[in-house]
Amino acid sequence: MVQIQLLMKKSLPALLLLLLLMSVPRPVTAQEASPTPEALQPTPAPTVPPVSPLPAVDGLTRPVQGEVLSGLVNLSGTASGAWDLAFAYPDDTSGTYFPLASSFQPITGDLLSNWDTSQVSDGEYRLRLRISTQEGSQEYYVNFQIRNDQPPTDTPTVTPTLLSPTPFQPLTFTPAPSATELPTATPTPLPPNPVILPPQEIAVNFGKGAAIVTALFAIFGLLLSLSRKLRA
């Protein structure tokens, strides 16, 4: 027991010195501070599975239901098989359709036809897209309008304008110019009429006429008396 106590007394300073040396910080080299490449293992990025695009849905994308068309329009849509495009009157019960375009190749969200709507009259119409595949055929319809004579226009908004009152101005009367007295025209005397006879010449001519008439009656009476004597 006494030996153990003596041994502990001798080794106690050595233990204290060792603990003191361990508590003193020592410089660290760059090689010790930086981890080796083998120590850093890159974390692999998570693998994202590719997103498959959604399958295109068959049908018409232009025109839409109730749309008003005018002029040259583009008709577009999607067809997963052979297709044909036609239009008809909505109230036609005979089922008559007028073809616009057709193809045996599928089409996805692209142009089906360019249609000049000015070739038909304005009114209500129905568009039909018929798609034929191995499973069968499917038809898609859209009702629309055509207006070329009177295309729809936005009604302009009229903003009322406040008018400033105009000050009253009295009326001014301009006196009429006084009438200028026109000079009186002096009539020009007419030349004497050569047909008019003076009274004296008329009396002379009348007397001559009466004498001629009397002479004619006298001659007629003489001839009449001679004829009676010849008969007697």
pLDDT at 41: 65
Query: Could you state, in order of their start, the residue ranges of all structural domains in the chain?
Result: 59-146
pLDDT at 183: 62
pLDDT at 185: 63
pLDDT tens track of the chain, all 232 residues? 555 566 566 666 666 667 666 765 565 554 555 555 555 566 777 776 665 566 678 899 999 999 999 999 999 999 999 999 999 988 888 889 999 999 999 988 888 889 999 999 999 999 999 999 988 899 999 999 999 987 555 555 555 555 555 565 665 656 666 656 666 666 666 666 665 666 777 777 778 888 888 888 888 888 888 888 887 6
pLDDT at 230: 81
pLDDT at 191: 66
Structure tokens at 103: 């193809």
> What's the chain look like in SS3?
CHHHHHHHHHHHHHHHHHHHHHHCCCCCCHHHHCCCCCCCCCCCCCCCCCCCCCCCCCEEEECCCCCEECCEEEEEEEECCEEEEEEECCCCCCCCCEEEEEECCCEEEEEEEEEEHHHCCCEEEEEEEEEEECCEEEEEEEEEEECCCCCCCCCCCCCCCCCCCCCCCCCCCCCCCCCCCCCCCCCCCCCCCCCCCCHHHHHHHHHHHHHHHHHHHHHHHHHHHHHHHHHC
Residue 73 CB neighbours (<10 A): 17
pLDDT at 131: 94
- What does the pLDDT look like over 30-85, one tens digit per residue? 455 555 555 556 677 777 666 556 667 889 999 999 999 999 999 999 999 999 99
What is the CATH architecture of 59-146?
A: Sandwich (2.60)
pLDDT at 72: 93
